[in-house]
């Protein structure tokens, strides 16, 4: 990755990182939190594999969750960091969840493994709508990375003290290996546009990065097929992509 170019996380990279984190840090004890930047929080966890630092960012152009090396001590006096340090003290991270193709990550905390879940950290990786939440056992918002007033959005307001609700459902279709080529072609051909846009706008979990991989593994990158209008691509080429 070029220096200065943010890495945008798609569902594939999210699932890969969460698989790694689950093996590394579950279960683990919360140690501390700090907020080095306005849209970034870092938490320290002590587990069987030693101390691990996890970074959460809800910055619109590079929202992410990553395992990082021990950072410089900066930002531990921010309001959000203090709330986490007070509320999660002596608690254990016991579960990390992410459903299907959703880009919502939920970390669950309890007094010890097997006890009732009483605190949650939720990271929503959704471009400019990305956000971070700290919730109690009743899903009441204790703190949020960004608060959204009713004057800013009529669809979903976010404020401390309110109950957390899931983001708007993804209306795109879930990929399914049982779908026939005819069904797939019909679904992506409703609006004539580039094949790349057809795939991204109609299916969950499809990102520009994944588009490049699909084109490469279909051995059609030299034909630049993803940039062609779907109504100009022959079925034999579409079947390679399918």
Q: What pLDDT is recorded for position 87? A: 96
Q: pLDDT category, 31, cuts 50, 70, 90?
A: very high
The pLDDT of 224-234, averaged and rounded, is: 89
At CA 69, angle to CA 97 and CA 22, rounded to 5?
A: 20
Does residue 39 contact residue 57 with C-beta atoms inside 8 Å?
Answer: yes
Over residues 150-156, mean pLDDT: 60
Residue 183 CB partners (closer than 8 Å, separation 6+): none
Mean pLDDT to the nearest integer, 79-84: 95
Mean pLDDT over the full length of the chain: 88
What pLDDT, on a 0 to 100 scale, did the predictor assign at position 143?
Answer: 94
Read off the pTM: 0.79
Asked whether the predicted pLDDT for residue 94 surpasses 90, the reply is yes
pLDDT at residue 5 is higher than 50: no
**pLDDT computed for residue 152 by the predictor:** 64
pLDDT (average), residues 208-229 = 85
pLDDT at 63 over 60: yes
Q: How far apart are CA 147 and CA 149, in angstroms?
A: 7
Of residues 30, 39, 31, 139, the one with CA closest to residue 80: 39
Of residues 106, 113, 115, the one with CA closest to residue 135: 106
- Mean pLDDT over 160-188 rounds to 88
Read off the pLDDT of each residue in 227-238 and give the average, rounded to a whole number. Answer: 90
pLDDT at 159: 87
pLDDT: which is higher, 39 or 126: 39
The mean per-residue pLDDT over the stretch 85-101 comes to 94
């Amino acid at each position: 990755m070029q220096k200065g170019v943010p890495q945008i996380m798609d569902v594939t990279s999210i699932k890969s990182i969460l698989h790694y984190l689950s093996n590394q840090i579950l279960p683990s004890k919360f140690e501390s939190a700090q907020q080095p930047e306005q849209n970034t929080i870092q938490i320290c966890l002590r587990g069987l594999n030693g101390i691990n630092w996890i970074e959460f960012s809800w910055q619109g152009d590079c929202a992410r969750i990553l395992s990082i090396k021990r950072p410089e001590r900066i930002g531990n006096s921010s309001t959000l960091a203090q709330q986490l340090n007070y509320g999660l003290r002596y608690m254990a991270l016991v579960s990390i969840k992410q459903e299907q193709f959703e880009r919502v990550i939920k970390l669950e905390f309890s007094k010890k493994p097997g006890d009732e879940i009483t605190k949650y950290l939720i990271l929503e990786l959704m471009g400019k709508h990305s956000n971070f939440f700290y919730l109690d056992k009743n899903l009441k918002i204790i703190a949020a990375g960004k608060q959204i007033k009713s004057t800013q959005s009529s669809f979903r307001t976010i404020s401390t003290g309110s109950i957390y609700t899931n983001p708007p459902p993804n209306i795109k279709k879930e990929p399914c290996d049982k779908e026939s080529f005819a069904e797939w072609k019909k679904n992506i051909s409703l609006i004539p546009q580039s094949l790349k846009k057809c795939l991204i706008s109609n299916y969950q979990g499809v990102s520009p990065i994944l588009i490049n991989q699909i084109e490469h593994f279909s051995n059609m990158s030299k034909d630049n097929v993803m940039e062609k209008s779907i109504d100009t691509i022959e079925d034999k080429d579409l079947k390679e992509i399918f």
